[in-house]
């Protein structure tokens, strides 16, 4: 597929490399593409990236994502699946920019003709594209109102190494809140284990023979 990734940071680059290795056509979108050279990945302007993309990925800082998407414009985004992996935290990572809401919800509200799926934002970029480097892949969550959009996102996660058994659909776009608010526990766990390369795995009840 033609995948446009908005952003040129660690997350956008890691995902672009992962999807390119799986055979997809990737393009990074930047406000200043002329300054983003030497990335070993193609870079274009935001509008050009959106026009290129069958699937667009928001990997820009959560506090500015909505404004940045507005600069591309709702008509250019209409009908395009938007995978949002941004996290709405202040620049110093101490405060939620959207307490009691989420970036995912706000994007879906601002762009109602663009199906939004929130995923991958509960882990570091180093774990997003290398679930096989962990002792187990753990769980990746999907939030979104559009079933077909979640199905396509699921295929793209599988292409990054996430088996379907490790993907968990947790509901509509309002559940993006849970994924984003996990940022604080993420930071605590990172301190506790001494690494950003980890994930969480949902463990459920043991199967028994009794009904």
Binding site for its own copies (CB under 8 A): 94-96, 99-100, 122, 133-139, 141, 143, 168-171, 175, 177-179, 181-182, 184-189, 191-193, 195, 197-206
Smallest separation (angstroms) from its own copies to the CB of 60: 22
* Residues sharing a CB contact under 8 Å with residue 99, sequence separation 6 or more, in sequence order: none
Cross-strand partners of 5:
28, 57
Residue (34 or 191) nearer to its own copies, CB: 191
Question: Which residues, 6 or more positions from 118, have their beta carbon under 8 angstroms from its beta carbon?
Answer: 83, 84, 85, 102, 104, 141, 142, 143, 144, 173, 175, 176, 179, 180
Nearest in space to 68 (alpha carbons), one of 120, 107, 12? 107
Nearer to its own copies, 71 or 195 (CB): 195
* Closest distance of CB 138 from its own copies, Å: 5
Question: Cα separation of 53 and 100, whole Å?
Answer: 31
Q: Are 134 and 195 within 8 A, CB to CB?
A: no
Nearest to 188 by CA among 109, 121, 61, 93: 93
In the bound state with its own copies, the residue whose beta carbon lies nearer, of 6 and 89, is 89
Min separation Cβ 27 and its own copies, Å: 30
Q: How far is the CB of 160 from its own copies (least distance, A)?
A: 16
């Amino acid at each position: 597929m033609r995948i446009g990734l908005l952003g040129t940071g660690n997350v956008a680059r890691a995902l672009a490399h992962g999807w390119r290795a799986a055979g997809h056509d990737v393009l990074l979108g930047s406000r200043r593409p002329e300054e983003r050279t030497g990335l070993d990945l193609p870079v274009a302007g935001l509008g050009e990236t959106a026009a290129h993309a069958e699937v667009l990925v928001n990997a820009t800082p959560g506090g500015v994502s909505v404004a940045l998407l507005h600069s591309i414009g709702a008509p250019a985004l209409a009908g395009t699946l938007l995978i949002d992996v941004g996290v709405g935290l202040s620049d110093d990572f101490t405060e939620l920019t959207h307490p009691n809401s989420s970036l995912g919800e706000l994007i879906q509200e601002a762009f109602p003709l663009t199906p939004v799926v929130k995923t991958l934002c509960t882990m570091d970029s180093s774990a997003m594209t290398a679930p096989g480097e962990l002792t187990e892949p753990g769980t990746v969550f999907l939030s979104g109102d559009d079933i077909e959009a979640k199905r396509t996102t699921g295929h793209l996660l599988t292409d990054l190494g996430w088996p379907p058994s490790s993907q968990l659909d947790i509901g509509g776009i309002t559940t993006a809140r849970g994924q984003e608010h996990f940022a604080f526990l993420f930071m605590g766990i990172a301190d506790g284990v001494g690494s950003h390369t980890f994930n969480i795995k949902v463990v459920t009840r043991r199967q028994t023979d009794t009904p």
